[in-house]
């Protein structure tokens, strides 16, 4: 079935925002008088947990405190996450956030070719709408056909729910769409939804395992920011173009990839 939609994860794929999230978490901890500071290494570990509230719960689980104190702190998570989200919104407003290499170019190519574009994020809807308006302007929804956020599904990534809902909102079968992700949880979610998935990790997720990625690239590249020789060989050009995707996702290419992986 011909390609009808491109589905992008947000944090780490559309834009590299995890540093701003990390700063927002740390500022919220400070505002609450907690002596917690997530440095880059700690945040990289905690990013294996999807969703800020679950991430904070995991942190509480790992610190050495009496059970009653942990219970008290867990009760504060919703308020703490609202504070973090407020601060993150301010950081989005005071920092220039650009799409990762090749993303704006590929979305434009796809939109002009009549494909539908969807966003699927584990982040909260208030973050996603602030970001999308900042990136695509007031007419963002002319380009982005649907956005699904964590608060709209019962199970976050790595469950497929977010991608299944996005596909149904775009009225596209999984066989006619391609997902773009940066994390192992996101890849698992997309594959469980039956999607051909391109993974472009960031410094925050590079050490994660991407076992069944259909295509791994450092980024989507740009004509003036060509990819590394191995990636160029894999996709047949200096950066990922819409025209390449049809061929790359064909069953023949998948078989060849399988053979390459086994050799
Ligand atoms: C990334 C996440 C989010 C953000 C933090 O989402 O896992 O939790 O790190 O945002 P995705 P929240 O890569 O799926 O876009 O604090 O709002 O969860
Ligand atoms: Mg992500």
Residue 123 Cβ < 6 Å to ligand 1: yes
In Å, the largest CA–CA distance within the chain is: 58
At residue 254, the pLDDT reads: 59
Q: What torsion do the CA atoms of 177, 179, 180, 183 make, to the nearest 10 degrees?
A: -170
pLDDT of residue 211: 86
pLDDT value at position 1?
78
pLDDT at 246: 86
Query: Cα of 47 to ligand 1 centre, how many Å?
Result: 8
Give yes or no: 182 in active site.
no
Q: DSSP readout, 192-233?
A: HTT-EEEE---TTTTTS--TT-SEE-S---BTTBPPPHHHHH
Both tokens of 106, joined, read 């590929």
The two three-digit tokens of residue 75, written as one number = 């009760």
Q: Which mean pLDDT values do the consecutive 10-residue runs of the chain (263 residues) have?
A: 95 98 98 96 97 97 96 98 97 96 98 98 91 94 96 95 98 98 98 98 97 96 97 97 91 60 58
Asked if residues 127 and 143 have their Cβ atoms less than 8 Å apart, the reply is no
Kindly state if the Cβ of 102 falls inside 6 Å of ligand 1.
no
Residue 70 tokens read as 């942990």
What is the model's pLDDT at position 260?
A: 60
* CB atoms inside a 10 Å sphere around CB 254: 14
Strands 215-216 and 196-199: parallel
Catalytic status, residue 224 = no
């Amino acid at each position: 079935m011909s390609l009808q939609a491109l589905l992008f994860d947000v944090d780490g794929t559309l834009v590299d925002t995890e540093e701003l999230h990390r700063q927002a978490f740390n500022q919220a901890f400070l505002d609450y008088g907690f002596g917690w500071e997530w440095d880059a290494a700690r945040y990289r570990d905690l990013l294996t947990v999807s969703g800020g509230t679950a991430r904070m719960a995991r942190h509480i689980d790992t610190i050495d405190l009496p059970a009653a104190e942990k219970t008290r702190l867990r009760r504060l998570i919703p308020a703490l996450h609202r504070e973090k989200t407020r601060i993150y919104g301010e950081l989005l407003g005071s920092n220039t956030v650009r799409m990762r290499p090749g993303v704006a170019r590929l979305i434009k190519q796809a939109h002009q070719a009549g494909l539908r574009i969807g966003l699927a994020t584990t982040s909260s809807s208030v973050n996603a709408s602030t970001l999308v308006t900042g990136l695509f302007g007031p007419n963002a929804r002319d380009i982005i056909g649907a956005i699904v956020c964590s608060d709209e599904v019962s199970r976050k990534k790595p469950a497929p729910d977010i991608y299944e809902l996005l596909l149904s909102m775009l009225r596209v079968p999984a066989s006619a769409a391609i997902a773009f992700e940066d994390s192992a949880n996101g890849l698992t979610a997309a594959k469980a939804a039956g999607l051909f998935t391109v993974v472009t990790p960031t410094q925050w997720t590079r050490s994660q395992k991407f076992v069944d990625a259909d295509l791994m690239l450092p980024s989507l590249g740009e004509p003036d920011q060509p990819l590394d020789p191995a990636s160029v060989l894999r996709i047949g050009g200096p950066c990922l173009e819409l025209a390449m995707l049809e061929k790359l996702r064909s069953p023949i290419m998948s078989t060849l990839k399988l053979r390459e992986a086994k050799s």
